[in-house]
């Protein structure tokens, strides 16, 4: 398969596939004329990487996950630990987003949204107390 074929089948842009090759996550064969030649195993790796990235794993996490996937003597505990660490990061982001949502909701509710210049949203962003309770 050429890069266009594998891009279509994996759902990953050719640019991403080239990047994964550049950083050593995949190593497609090269024909005599220098064109990349992908085999089924490359497509499988790209699908794996695409799914891992869609779940928010970093490139380094993906590198570790790929190594664990290919290590038949791996302990599933190692995989679980990596996934748990990533899940904790996601949960922290969700918590941060919920706090941002709550704060912004309160600010929007406190803003009259009229022609007056007084605006609790701008006051909060500037660090000036707006008298909200």
Structural domain includes residue 96: yes
* Size of the chain, expressed as the number of residues it contains: 133
What's the DSSP call for residue 55?
T
Instruction: Tell me the CATH number at 27.
Output: 1.10.1660.10
Render pLDDT for 85-116 as a digit per residue (tens, 0 to 9). Answer: 999 999 999 999 999 999 999 999 999 989 88
Number of domains into which the chain is organized: 2
Given a cut of 50, the residues of the chain with pLDDT beneath it are: 133
Q: Tell me, what's the pLDDT at 44? A: 96
DSSP H helices in the chain: 3-10, 14-22, 40-54, 59-70, 76-110, 120-126
Q: Tell me, what's the pLDDT at 58? A: 97
Backbone conformation region of residue 127, classed left if phi is above 0, alpha if psi is from -120 to 50, else beta: left
Residues 50, 9, single domain; the answer is yes
Structural domain includes residue 106: yes
Q: Is the dihedral of CA 66, 69, 70, 75 positive or negative?
A: positive
pTM of the model: 0.79
Residues 121, 87, single domain; the answer is yes
Q: How far, in Å, CA of 45 to CA of 51, rounded? A: 10
What's the domain range around 87?
75-132
């Amino acid at each position: 398969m050429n890069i266009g074929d594998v891009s279509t089948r994996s759902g990953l842009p050719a640019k991403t596939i080239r990047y994964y090759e550049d950083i050593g996550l995949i190593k497609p064969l090269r024909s005599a004329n220098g064109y990349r030649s992908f085999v089924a195993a490359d497509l499988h790796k790209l699908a794996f990487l695409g799914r891992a990235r869609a779940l928010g794993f970093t490139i380094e996490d993906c590198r570790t996950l790929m190594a664990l996937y290919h290590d038949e003597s791996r302990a599933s505990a190692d995989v679980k630990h990596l996934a748990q660490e990533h899940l904790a990061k996601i949960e922290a982001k969700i918590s941060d987003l919920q706090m941002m949502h709550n704060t912004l909701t309160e600010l929007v509710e406190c803003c009259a949204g009229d022609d007056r210049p007084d605006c609790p949203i701008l006051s909060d962003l500037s660090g000036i107390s707006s008298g909200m309770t």
